[in-house]
Amino acid sequence: MHTPLFEAVPNFSEGKDTTKISRITEAVRAVPGISILGLHSDADHNRSVLTFAGDEDSMLSGAVALAKACAAELDLASQSGEHPRMGVLDVLPFVPLEGATMDDAVRLARRAGETLGTLGFPVFLYGSAATASHRRALPDVRRGGYDGLASRLEDPLWKPDYGPETLDPHMGAVAVGARPFLVAFNAYLDTDDVGVAREVARRVRESGGGLPAVRALGFGVGGKAQVSMNLTDLRQTTIPVALTAVRRAADDLGASVESTELVGLAPLEAVLQTARHYLGLRELDAHHVLEMRLYGSSDSRSL
Amino acid sequence: MHTPLFEAVPNFSEGKDTTKISRITEAVRAVPGISILGLHSDADHNRSVLTFAGDEDSMLSGAVALAKACAAELDLASQSGEHPRMGVLDVLPFVPLEGATMDDAVRLARRAGETLGTLGFPVFLYGSAATASHRRALPDVRRGGYDGLASRLEDPLWKPDYGPETLDPHMGAVAVGARPFLVAFNAYLDTDDVGVAREVARRVRESGGGLPAVRALGFGVGGKAQVSMNLTDLRQTTIPVALTAVRRAADDLGASVESTELVGLAPLEAVLQTARHYLGLRELDAHHVLEMRLYGSSDSRSL
């Protein structure tokens, strides 16, 4: 077995100054055992999303390096952008990857939160790491951004889980959470009618009585109606099953799916599920994939 | 970019004596830079197929370690089995993997052949590494096994490419080649009529006027008619395209495909092609697969 691995997808409040963004990213990259998987900076939102992975102790060191770099490079008091933000290091979710469970990710999030608290960040645990149900949903935690949080801080219901109980206007606060890996899968319809996409989304998502572990919204993107989905548990709903439901709902509404896209990263299992589904394969797992045998895991290397 | 990688799929003439098989395998595993990917021993055929991978220099060292171990452990004069064989190390094909071209695999095969020649093996290059068209097809090279080869050896057309021009009855000769990666993909039909499988195979394979880079045969396996395919170039014919042709041919003959199987290893690209095909994905490559970002290539690690 592998050492349990985790992914972190922190959002920090700088999307324009490439020198600062680079210094923050390099601070994380310098931590032994950390792989940087992605960086997406958005100038309009003045915000960057970094993706990195590693084992528990490396991730903890990575989180500390990230938080220190954000505090050193960024100043919330002089930052502005469309996106509501409550801190220089705004959100820090941990995701269980290979060999890790959600409980492992919760433990990691809490260890990271405790350490960030000692660095002077008020820390709010959210998602599966939340310590109260009203603090579970990220939008609730960061409602109103920095100012909203500042006004709630006197309320015992909004006492930080770790760190100071007052906000430093330069650093702000951070939401540290644990959540499942999300597969972001979009279907583009052969219509520009966003209403169709919204209705398809309503029918396929869990909250509309559709498929378990599916969130969906309808958008207009590049003149096409787009059904944008988050699959939060591939054991419950796979990509082919979600797509079949979208095709069926679109068909009911006189539309069809023209193309699809996977946004960001997908676990290999998502692709293997898809191949198994459509090919009728008796079995197909990571051990059948050449590259995974070459690079994947220590046990297959030592076959 | 990765260092170009290669796979070797040697066949050696021992399938029963697990001590000898293990010593031969361990000799290859001990070579730095070599990953053992698979070992399949067949007692009836008294033959083993080892799969290992690495960069060019590691593979050359692996081939030498393998040849020396086969010469030390095995004796062709006392060996018997159903499978025709011409040497203790019978066949040694090299396959280009990530970053490597067929020309690279040909160069590696010839370097390996030259070195094995100095160890006392008469070496016949075959496949893409062949030095004459009549020596390209492996069945032609090993026709008649050891005895057949012995009788041809006086013929200038069958002079070894490297090594002695006489056969040592204990070591025999070896065919060293370069060939493309094969994906072995089988479809099981809902009939026990092997004739249907044979007819489907005839229609889909390249030699029957079917799909390019597809070899196919019909068999009866476990009471089911099986269409057994080798896809020799996934850029020409993908798994979904081959399966669609099999389904259509089976349908014409009143049968249908019940299930499929991938035998051995498939490159990740085979799975990605399948997902792209059925999902209508705008794009999907190895960089979208989380595990490949975690383990895959040095460039993504250092993003």
Section A168-172 average pLDDT = 94
Burial class (CB in 10 A: 0-12, 13-18, 19+), A1: exposed
Cα B145 to Cα A45: distance, rounded to the nearest angstrom: 71
Contact A280 B257 (CB under 8 A): yes
Closest C-alpha among A226, A232, A301 to residue A270:
A232
**Measured between CB atoms, which of A266, A290, A302 is closest to B268?**
A290
CB contact under 8 Å between A259 and B278, yes or no, is no
How far CA A286 is from CA of A188, A281, A300, B6, B121, in Å, comes to 29, 14, 10, 20, 38
Q: Are strands A174-178 and A89-96 parallel, antiparallel or unpaired?
A: parallel
DSSP A228-271: EEEES-TTTS-HHHHHHHHHHHHHHTT--EEEEEEES-B-HHHH
Helix then strand count (H, E) for chain A reads 10, 11
Residue B1, pLDDT score = 52
Active-site option among B2, B40, B83, B170? B83
What distance lies between CA B10 and its chain's CA centroid?
8
Tens digits of residue pLDDT in A25-71: 999 999 999 999 989 888 878 889 999 999 999 999 999 999 999 99
> What average pLDDT does this structure show over B81-103?
88
CB contact under 8 A, A293 and B35: yes
Residues of chain B with C-beta less than 8 angstroms from the C-beta of A55: none
Res B52 pLDDT > 60:
yes
Q: What is the DSSP letter of B158?
A: G
Q: What is the arithmetic mean of pLDDT over B56-76?
A: 97
Distance to chain A for B26, nearest Cα, Å: 11
Residue of A nearest to B244 (CA): A279
- State the average pLDDT over residues B175-188: 94
Closest Cβ–Cβ partner in A5, A39, A289 for B268: A289
Q: State yes or no: pLDDT of B279 exceeds 90.
A: yes
**Number of Cβ atoms within 10 Å of the Cβ of A166:** 11
In degrees, rounded to 5, the angle at the alpha carbon of residue B265 between the alpha carbons of residues B259 and B267 is 100
Residue B288 among the catalytic residues? no
Q: A271, B279: Cβ pair inside 8 Å?
A: no
pLDDT of A301 > 60? The answer is no
State which residue of chain B sits closest to A29, comparing Cα positions: B302
- Of the candidates B86, B104, B220, B212, the residue with the CA atom closest to the CA atom of residue B153: B86
Q: State residue A11's pLDDT score.
A: 95
How far, in Å, CA of A88 to CA of A122, rounded? Answer: 12
User: Nearest CA to CA, how far is A97 from chain B (Å)?
Assistant: 9
E strand map for B106-246: 123-127, 174-178, 183-189, 214-221, 224-231
- CA-based nearest residue in chain B for residue A22: B303
Q: Which of B51, B98, B294, B301 is the best residue to mutate to test the A interface, defined by the most A CB atoms within 10 Å of its own CB?
A: B294
pLDDT for residue A164 is more than 70: yes
At B2 the pLDDT is: 65
Provide, as residue numbers in chain B, all residues whose Cβ is less than 8 Å from the Cβ of A295: 292, 295-296
Alpha-carbon distance of A241 to A237, in angstroms, equals 6
Q: Measure the CA–CA gap between A283 and B261, rounded to whole angstroms.
A: 7
The pair of three-digit structure tokens given for residue B265, joined into one six-digit string: 């290893």
CB-hemisphere CA count at 13 Å for A100? 27
The pLDDT of B38-50, averaged and rounded, is 87
Q: Is the dihedral of CA A129, A135, A139, A144 positive or negative?
A: negative
Q: In this structure, are residues A291 and B2 in contact, taking their beta carbons and an 8 Å threshold?
A: no
Interface touch B271/A289, C-beta < 8 Å: yes
Question: Cα–Cα distance between B136 and B146 in angstroms, integer?
Answer: 18
For residue A21, give the H/E element and its range: helix A18-29
Contact A272 B271 (CB under 8 A): yes
Active site residues of A: 83
pLDDT value of residue B302: 32
| Tens-place pLDDT, residues A141-150 | 989 899 999 9
Which of A14-18, A204-208, B75-79, B271-275 shows the lowest per-residue confidence on average (mean pLDDT)? B75-79
Alpha carbon distances (Å) from A290 to A294, A298, B31: 6, 14, 20
DSSP character at residue B123 = E
Whether B291 sits inside 8 A of A296 (CB atoms) is yes
